[in-house]
Amino acid sequence: MGEQAEATFARQLALVIDLDVCVGCHACVTSCKQWNTSGAAGPLSDQSAYGAQPSGTFFNRVQTYEAGTFPATDTVHFPKSCLHCQDPPCVPVCPTGASYKRKEDGVVLVDYDKCIGCKYCSWACPYGAREFDEQMRVMTKCTLCVDRIYDRGLPEGDRQPACVKACPTGARLFGDVNDPRSPVSQAIAERGGYELMPEWGTRPANRYLPRRSPAAPTSDPSP
């Protein structure tokens, strides 16, 4: 499938996330939830949102963990959503064709009218990027805000995914990663942007710009 994907999907929209400037504020999470809840598909479900065991559907999540060895430790905030793989394993396992990859821009989407909620796609995805909506009984995922980025009713500067617009530190970049002249491709080349779990052979379109090495600690607190 790899050779076919390269030939068919010449244009590949994706997110490039700069881990060096992400502060874990969750603005991307809340803006994504807000935008997709207000769309034509209806609200993303929340079960007992203010109860003891809340659960809900989110297209974007941020994981935070500690890296390194004391005293050279570092807090890493790691946003993760669908990576819009160039060889998406979620597509061929779908029995109804509800999961598909668009030829014009490489975005992986779900047709809710065809989805039967079997969850095969979530089992096939090695990144845990699929979300089952308990109320709609369908699989959901990041769409890269296709309803927004192509909306000519919006100012050109607003035709970006909601998470990109909301990020206060500019940690999220958006564009065509297959175009070597694009800002996202240049950032990948300059910073050594990498794929998540490349050993799976899915060729994820989203990339991550690595953290720079933290400054060495000093034992003298004086200026």
Task: Please spell the DSSP secondary structure of 14-52, one letter per residue.
Answer: EEEEETTT-----HHHHHHHHHHHTSTT-PPPEESTTSS
Average pLDDT over residues 27-49: 85
Whether residue 3 has pLDDT greater than 50:
no
Tokens 């192509």 appear where?
Answer: 150
Give the model confidence (pLDDT) of 103-141 as tens digits: 999 999 999 999 999 999 999 999 999 999 988 899 999
pLDDT at residue 47, rounded to an integer: 82
pLDDT at residue 219, rounded to an integer: 52
The CA angle 122-123-129, to the nearest 5 degrees, is: 35
Mean pLDDT of the chain: 89
* Whole-structure pTM value: 0.86
Report the range of poorest mean pLDDT among 19-23, 35-39, 82-86, 122-126: 35-39
Instruction: Provide the pLDDT confidence category of residue 72 given band limits of 50, 70 and 90.
Output: confident
Whether residue 2 has pLDDT greater than 60:
no
Whether residue 17 has pLDDT greater than 50:
yes
Question: Rounded distance, CA 87 to CA 104, Å?
Answer: 15
Average pLDDT over residues 78-95: 96
Give the model confidence (pLDDT) of 154-199 as tens digits: 999 899 999 999 999 999 999 999 999 999 999 999 999 999 999 9
Q: Which residue in 35, 87, 84, 28 sits closest to 60, CA to CA?
A: 28
Is the CB of residue 195 less than 8 Å from the CB of residue 203?
yes
Question: Rounded distance, CA 49 to CA 62, Å?
Answer: 18
Higher pLDDT, 213 or 38: 38
Q: Which amino acid is at 49?
A: A
Give the model confidence (pLDDT) of 54-67 as tens digits: 888 899 999 999 98
Q: Which residue in 180, 168, 178, 181 sits closest to 206, CA to CA?
A: 178
What percentage of the chain reaches a pLDDT higher than 90?
A: 74
pLDDT at residue 4, rounded to an integer: 43
Question: Rounded distance, CA 8 to CA 114, Å?
Answer: 24
